[in-house]
Amino acid sequence: MTVYLAPTSNGLGSLISNLPAIDALAKNGRPPMLVLRSQAQEAVAKLVDGIAGTVLESDFSAIKMAPGDQFINLRDHPLQTDHIWGSDEFFATFPDTYFEDLFKTICADKGIEISYENLEPLKHRLCDVARGKIVLVPGSNGRQKCWPTSHFLELIRRLQSSGHCCAVVGEPARSEYVKSLLDADVEWIKTSAFSDAVDAISSALAVVSVDTGLMHVAIHQGVSTVGLFRSANMILKERPHTRYLKAPGCAPACLDAQFAHVTNKKINFDSSAGMSADQYYWLRWDCAEAEEKRCMAAISVDEVLAALLEVMHNQV
């Protein structure tokens, strides 16, 4: 019997956030065939133990399931299709409820009993250049998620003054925020492949990251992590080695743009389409405010530094 498992969404971070379900199935002798919702997720799947293989969702319909095979679609649960996660209406209905609370319920209703304890880490190798360093992840596919370059530079200055070494992971060709730090001569750990980035993150002393896939990697790998979030976000994971800082409420124009599309109704994805704005909602809009007035700019360097030092101290 083959179990086909489709994750809750289509990005790198979302697949990493679905690893407890994969882990639970594998530990119960049912290693799943992952029905991937984007080609980007293939890079993650290559580093996951306990799967039977992968198939892109755009090719899944051509597969003839055998008697006894099972397709578990984690995207079609009413908790997701009936609500726009992160919206004011969502939090009014489910106050103080975040992704992992919902994911545990979704999985239980699909017959998967998950645990967030003792998860298998992604396969990785030691990255010598990242050892003992605080790795910064400033880039994201959505510019509205990013923290100002000036804030990162001040954080680096203060960390270096206390004897810490910092380095950047990211792609300057794809992120102006990564490029701006490299232009300021911040050390860059070049990662030609996703696996290289996982190696660097897994080998770091600690990570400071905006809301992006590598932040979820750091949390999953057990690295001390400070995550920087917009307020309209619910992908928070409670871990002893993790601290979160959330920006104040976004400008109304930003929220209107974010929730203008009914993304919760999109159950199936065209995994052959690449990074299209039709499927990746954060590509459809940018922050409506000037750089210095963006909500993310309100997260102070003092707050980030205090959270980082606290979480690193607790991990000693």
Average pLDDT of the residues of the chain: 88
pLDDT category at 196 given cuts 50, 70, 90 is very high
> What is the C-alpha separation between 282 and 276, in angstroms, rounded?
10
Q: How many CB atoms lie within 10 A of CB 226?
A: 26
pLDDT at position 266 over 70: no
Phi then psi for residue 243, to 5 deg, are -130, 145
Query: Which domains does the chain possess?
Result: 3-109 (3.40.50), 128-269+276-315 (3.40.50.2000)
Phi then psi for residue 176, to 5 deg, are -65, -25
Three-state secondary structure call for residue 242? strand
DSSP code for 289: S
| pLDDT tens by residue, 72-118 | 999 899 998 888 887 788 888 988 888 999 999 999 999 999 999 88
Do residues 72 and 24 make contact, with C-beta atoms less than 8 angstroms apart?
no
Token couple for 171: 């792609």
Do residues 75 and 267 make contact, with C-beta atoms less than 8 angstroms apart?
yes
Using only C-alpha atoms, what is the Rg of the chain? 19
Is the pTM of the predicted complex or chain greater than 0.75?
A: yes
> What is the C-alpha separation between 229 and 303, in angstroms, rounded?
13
> What is the C-alpha separation between 195 and 279, in angstroms, rounded?
24
Three-state secondary structure call for residue 221? coil
Mean pLDDT of 26-44: 92
pLDDT at position 243 over 80: yes
